[in-house]
Copies of this chain bind each other. A is one copy, B any other.
């Protein structure tokens, strides 16, 4: 019986990363997000600072046209390719939870995945980034919307799927249901998927 790989896409401030960490602990499997960047950086030779700065932000058309390197691909595309390779490698190694990085699309051919999307109403996400993430910003709404826009653009640039469209995920959840209940539900769905392999 193969154990399930869980990918989690999430709106900014929805708590999707926290849910991912909790679920990985519950399932006793590795959790990947920023670690992926470091691993991708090592593989691609791109500096970690560059990657952190540009991760999940679609390159503007101007920069897109300027930043070509010897491989004739924009750095952002190189980064996506490198990260996708890392995602495929860690998935090959065994069950895990992967947050962000279009992992749902990168691993679309695998049958042993549970693809999850976490969302929440804007007002709740604004509250969460202040209370839980400790954000100090003059305009919290603009901050949240900017991050959403970046994630949607990143996903829509590198995949044919619409970011957050329920049909692209096995399960999409409003995080206001509560982290604990969501982790309980996802554990059931992940384990059920194992039975279907």
Residues of A within 8 A of B (CB): 114, 117, 119, 164-167, 169-174, 176-178, 180-182, 184-186, 188-189, 191-193, 196
Contacts and interface: CB of A to CB of B under 8 A. Distances in A.
Contacts of A177: 114, 170-171, 189, 192-193
Given A164-B166, A166-B119, A192 B171 contact: no
A166 B117 CA distance: 9
A180 B166 contact: no
A117 to B, nearest CB: 6
A159 to B, nearest CB: 16
A5 to B, nearest CB: 15
A107 B193 CA distance: 32
Contacts of A182: 189
Contact of A181 (B119, B164, B167, B188): B188
Given A169-B172, A171-B171, A177-B189, 8 more contacts: A164-B166, A166-B169, A169-B174, A171-B173, A172-B172, A177-B193, A181-B189, A185-B186
16 contacts: A114-B177, A119-B167, A164-B166, A165-B166, A166-B169, A169-B174, A170-B176, A171-B172, A171-B185, A178-B192, A178-B196, A181-B191, A182-B189, A184-B188, A185-B185, A185-B189
A120 to B, nearest CB: 9
Contacts of A181: 188-189, 191-193
A170 B172 CA distance: 8
Contacts of A174: 167, 169-171
A186 B186 CA distance: 10
Contacts of A173: 170-171
Contacts of A119: 166-167
A82 to B, nearest CB: 30
Contacts of A191: 181
